[in-house]
Homo-oligomer: A and B are copies of this chain.
Amino acid sequence: MRTSIATVSLSGGLAEKLQACADAGFDGVEIFEPDLIAGDRSPEEIRALAARLGLTLDLYQPLRDIEGVDEATFAENLRRAGATFATAARLGIDTVLVCSNVATATVDSDDVSAAQLRRLGEVASTHGVRVAFEALAWGRFVDDYRRAWRIVELADHPSVGVCLDSFHVLSRGHDPSAIADIPGDKIFYLQLADAPALSMDVLSWSRHHRLFPGEGAFDLTTFTAHVLSTGFDGPLSLEVFNDTFRQTDPDRTAVHALRSLLWLQDKVAHHPQQSAASHLFPVADAEPAVGFDFVEVKAEDTSEVEVVLDQLGFTARGRHRTKPVSLWVAGAARVVLNEQLARDQAPHIAAVGLAVPDADATTRRAVDLMAPRAFRRTYGSEQPLGSAVAPDGSEIFWSTASADGSHPAWVDEFTDGAPADPASPVRVIDHVNLTQPWQTADEAVLFYTSVFGFSADAPTEVAGPTGLIRSQVMRTADGAVRLPLNVAPHVLSGSAPTQHVAFACTDVLGVARAARARGLPFLPVPDNYYDYVAGKFGVDASVVAELRELDLLYDRDTDGEFVHFYTRTVGNVFFEFVERRGHYDGYGADNAPVRLAAQRRDTAR
């Protein structure tokens, strides 16, 4: 399918927006009228620019408050519409979006609206343009696409059709299946937007919180399948009003936006209702990751991290034979310490390795979804890894998981190291928490769900001593891979993010005791916390005493128990050890404020 995007979805001036859309690979754009008005290029110049860039101009929008009015008002509205049609014609655009009347409608009648749309269509046709009528979710009388279609049917004019916008349909909870009743050639335009599940007035929701498909809670796949089932073959076009995208790099947003349309076509292609007729962009299939392969911590000098890993019972598995990189292992948890090209860098999580069923398939999928490749110098004798750069700049690598659970081939590039200790109480990497800049937090959701097939848990919030932290977990269904993505409050945006790696173990008390014996400085947990745990959960005094002695944190829910502890922060990274008992599936969310306050005190020391 052809791809398009409304210019209101991007920041900057109109010419910049067109350039960004062309660079990303869009086929066309919708021109948002205020972008044209505020720009210093004439309609003819914009038309010529789009032609040079290879972009079609698919829609001019919006024309507001036209129908459902008295005759005197309609006469004035027709005059006003004529000016808009003339501008569209100068742009070489053949379709103008007409929204259902919000501000001036006084007549609640399908017949009146239809008659007025017919007369509008007559004027439009004299300018060589057609009218796509859209029911806004907050239209005064027309707020349902089914009514908009009924009015268009009654108008019965070749220059009058409907525009369908997924937000206006799905935000109201309207059943999209009646779309299948509309002839495909009367759907003059299709606008797509996702949105998070929010309970707020629909106008504010629409104007501030729209997202690209795959980032929110709407079922865009079924919606789009319904539209395509009509034979509609116009562009898939994005119209996303979003406070973040309005102020961030348009080049980046355009790539991100196009990725959402590729993802959507892939989802539609797999939808049971989809006929083979549509020309959907083919995205290579790949199975989701089956587990973490490794985490890489990078720094100019990683020796402080080595001290901590040693105290935590990790075994040095040796240095890489061609790079200043070392490998530390406990159970099947692998930590790579990288000092290559790391001048002036404090310890931080630079990369995450995933074990996938078929690395080549994941690579093909990543390429199809425009994920930028991460470069690592790899010699001919070394195992090449699949790679992508995540929106926050973290690098994601992958290789094919071994069928027998043995270590991956790249481990053998590390020499002179001790073999891993199979008796370690540490099992695997449980989760890797990556702090996201607010600018790319939404993009990250789409990146992880589309390229790696993760699902996105509902976002939660954690109260830290200097603000709320928004947290959303990307994960595989079985929980083998979990990536909590945290967005820090504004005041912290300037400071270096604190990330962490959590290791799952079978005996967290044993790990904690052994680490303490080896001199590990724990993150100190305040006494008041243990009084609270005793009071809240009614835990035995002897258990509380043991938790208190070892600075362990505790949580319990109906699925099981969770016991965990944190190391102090080294550079921008700290480590957590967790023991999940029963079917506990969370992260000890109630303990996060205690941890954040303790880290703040620890940093201030």
Contacts and interface: CB of A to CB of B under 8 A. Distances in A.
Interface of A: 11-13, 33-34, 36-43, 76, 79-80, 82-84, 86-87, 198-201, 204, 208, 243, 246-248, 438, 463, 465-468, 489-492, 524, 526-529, 531-532, 534-536, 538, 593-594, 596-598, 600-601
Contacts of A82: 535
Given A13-B597, A243-B467, A466-B11, A534 B83 contact: yes
A37 B593 CA distance: 9
- Chain B CB within 10 Å — which of A248, A532, A601 has the most? A532
Contact of A490 (B199, B438, B468): B438
A597 B38 contact: yes
Contact of A491 (B87, B200, B247): B247
Contacts of A247: 466-468, 489-492
Given A37-B526, A83-B534, A247-B468, 20 more contacts: A11-B466, A12-B465, A13-B597, A37-B529, A37-B532, A37-B594, A38-B526, A38-B528, A38-B596, A40-B526, A80-B538, A83-B536, A86-B535, A199-B200, A199-B201, A243-B468, A246-B463, A246-B467, A247-B466, A247-B489
Contact of A593 (B34, B84, B531): B34
Contacts of A12: 465-466
A12 B86 CA distance: 59
A458 to B, nearest CB: 13
A325 to B, nearest CB: 36
Contacts of A39: 526, 528, 597
The main secondary structure of chain A at its interface with chain B is: helix
A540 to B, nearest CB: 13
A536 B80 contact: yes
Nearest to A604: B13
A11 B467 contact: yes
Nearest to A530: B37
Given A12-B466, A199-B204, A465-B12, A535 B243 contact: no
A13 B601 contact: yes
A248 B601 CA distance: 17
Contacts of A243: 467-468, 489
Nearest to A535: B83
Contacts of A526: 37-40
- Chain B CB within 10 Å — which of A12, A76, A82, A246 has the most? A246
21 contacts: A11-B467, A13-B601, A36-B528, A37-B593, A38-B528, A38-B529, A38-B593, A40-B598, A40-B601, A43-B528, A76-B538, A83-B536, A198-B201, A200-B200, A246-B463, A246-B467, A247-B466, A247-B468, A247-B489, A247-B490, A490-B490
Contacts of A204: 198-200
A42 to B, nearest CB: 6
Contacts of A596: 38
A87 B530 CA distance: 12
Contacts of A524: 40
A534 B84 CA distance: 10
A598 B38 contact: yes
Contacts of A534: 83
B593 A87 contact: no
A38 B11 CA distance: 41
A343 B199 CA distance: 51
A465 B598 contact: no
Contacts of A33: 532
A593 B208 CA distance: 17
A453 B198 CA distance: 36
Contacts of A43: 528
A187 to B, nearest CB: 27
Contacts of A87: 531, 535
Contact of A34 (B41, B463, B600): B463
- Chain B CB within 10 Å — which of A37, A526, A527, A538 has the most? A37
A13 B602 CA distance: 12
A439 to B, nearest CB: 8
Contacts of A538: 76, 79-80
Instruction: For the complex of A and B, list the 5 residue pairs with the smallest distance between their C-beta atoms, beginning with the closest.
Output: A83-B535, A247-B467, A200-B200, A38-B597, A199-B201
A600 B38 CA distance: 11
Contacts of A76: 538
A32 to B, nearest CB: 10
Given A246-B468, A490-B247, A528 B37 contact: yes
Contacts of A41: 528
Contacts of A13: 465, 597, 600-601
A79 B536 CA distance: 9
A66 to B, nearest CB: 13
Contacts of A438: 490
A42 B11 CA distance: 51
A534 B536 CA distance: 69
B531 A83 contact: yes
A536 B77 CA distance: 9
